[in-house]
Amino acid sequence: MKKTIRWLSIPAISFVAICALVTSCAQLRPGEDPLVVRAEQTEAAAKSTFDLVLSVDHADRGFWRTNSPAFHAFAEWLRQPQVVRVTNVLPRASAMILSLNNIKGEYVFSKSYSNALVSAIAVLQSAATEANAWSIIITNRPAR
């Protein structure tokens, strides 16, 4: 009887390690705002996840377009140009991270718009969760 072993690629293992470090249950230092810390954790995790998904798709767009159109469509959604601060255009992935960072800065400065910060965290976390699901799917080899 032949054993089959599922193989995880290095990027998938790296991503799992990064997520474990970023979302660990470390205690807050005195004076740290939990909402700001959560925003920073979300930014870091989303950036690494988006980078992985976009780099895998970019490496062979034709393959992903034909063999996994849903994954390719998600990567293209992350690449869609978005107007940021009236004069700049960034890919959606970068625009979401920048938006959260800007709202976080406004929150730190005024301490009065926590609902906007919570909403921005939720939006970015949702996209990062979907990207994470795709990264797990696309970086695993099928059993032989």
The reply to whether 42 falls in a domain is: yes
Task: Of 27, 23, 15, 20, give the one whose Cα is nearest residue 41.
Answer: 23
Residue 131 lies in a domain: yes
For the chain, the distance separating the N- and C-terminal CA atoms, rounded to the nearest angstrom, is: 13
Q: What is the pLDDT of residue 127?
A: 97
**Cα 39 from Cα 93, distance rounded (Å):** 15
Residue pLDDT tens, the chain, 144 long: 444 334 444 444 445 445 544 555 566 677 788 999 999 999 999 999 999 999 999 999 999 999 999 999 999 999 999 998 888 899 999 999 999 999 999 999 987 668 999 999 999 999 999 999 999 988 886 665
Q: Residue 2 falls within a domain, yes or no?
A: no
- Asked whether the beta carbons of 53 and 135 are under 8 A apart, the reply is yes
**Any domain includes 66:** yes
Q: Tell me the three state secondary structure of residue 140.
A: strand
- Per-residue pLDDT tens for 114-127? 899 999 999 999 99
Total domains in the fold of the chain: 1
Whether 89 is covered by a domain: the verdict is: yes
- Does residue 8 sit within a domain? no
- Note down the domain range covering 113: 34-141
Q: How far is CA 73 from the centre of its chain?
A: 16
